[in-house]
Amino acid sequence: MPQAAKSYEYTVSYSPFGQATKGIRFSRKEIQDLVIAALLVIGVGLSMIGLSSFLTNPERLNYVMLTLFTVMFTASFFMHEMAHKIVAQKNGFWAEFRLTFIGAVLTLLSIISPFFKVISPGAVMVAGYADKEKTGKISIAGPATNIVLSTVFLTMAVFVPSEQIFTLGAAFNAWIALFNLIPFGIFDGFKVFSWNKGVWMLAFALSLVLTVFSYQYLLA
């Protein structure tokens, strides 16, 4: 039986056995944690109005653009986490989003800090017995989602160059993917690298290229 872990306590266990129950499920506790996490992430998104200084025409950043950026910002984080959850539950594991005390506090501080920005109110917790392949596939789901989102936003930025809000979305998603693919410690990249180095190299290279290109495009 898996034991409950403390905030940010992390272990990886591999086993050839899996659970039989499948399907996408949300518990009441998970929904409560998602609502609180959403409010925290939205707060950080709203606080990042200072990013308008990076735009060529900051005076054009109106409430519509701020709202759009906040929605993109929040959706990018949760789509990353929900990708982990969906893949895990599709493979028969228990997987639910949980707030973590340290992450929630850091995210709350990021709302009021003009320079310190951490968006990590919680994470999807996965329980069950998995081999390296299943663990790797669950782990790559999050960064892969951000790589796709970054590509979509960057394409939109090319076709709508007057609205650099899409470039911000591309840069943010590319950075999320790149950061999470670090092949050490608690990061997704560690499990992906342990499972399939070729998949890790491809994902890391794509996220690196997208990060560099989107930030160059943003600052051009």
Which distant-in-sequence residues (6+ apart) come within 8 Å of 167 by Cβ? 153, 154, 157, 214, 217, 218
Instruction: Judge whether 133 lies within some domain.
Output: yes
Instruction: Judge whether 62 lies within some domain.
Output: yes
Mind listing the pLDDT tens digit for each residue in 120-149? 899 999 988 888 999 999 999 999 999 999
> Considering only 35-39, 57-61, 107-111, 196-200, which range has the smallest mean pLDDT?
57-61
Q: What is the DSSP string of 138-177?
A: HHHHHHHHHHHHHHHHHHHHHH-TT-THHHHHHHHHHHHH
Instruction: Judge whether 104 lies within some domain.
Output: yes
Instruction: Judge whether 93 lies within some domain.
Output: yes
Residue 83 token pair: 């990708």
Instruction: Judge whether 12 lies within some domain.
Output: no
Mind listing the pLDDT tens digit for each residue in 26-47? 999 999 999 999 999 988 887 7
Which distant-in-sequence residues (6+ apart) come within 8 Å of 194 by Cβ? 132, 135, 136
Instruction: Judge whether 22 lies within some domain.
Output: no
Distance CA 62, CA 51 (A): 13
pTM listed for this prediction = 0.80
Count of domains observed in the chain: 1
Mind listing the pLDDT tens digit for each residue in 158-185? 887 766 788 888 998 999 999 999 999 8
Instruction: Judge whether 9 lies within some domain.
Output: no
Domain housing 113? 28-219
CA nearest to 21, candidates 125, 81, 95: 95
Instruction: Judge whether 3 lies within some domain.
Output: no
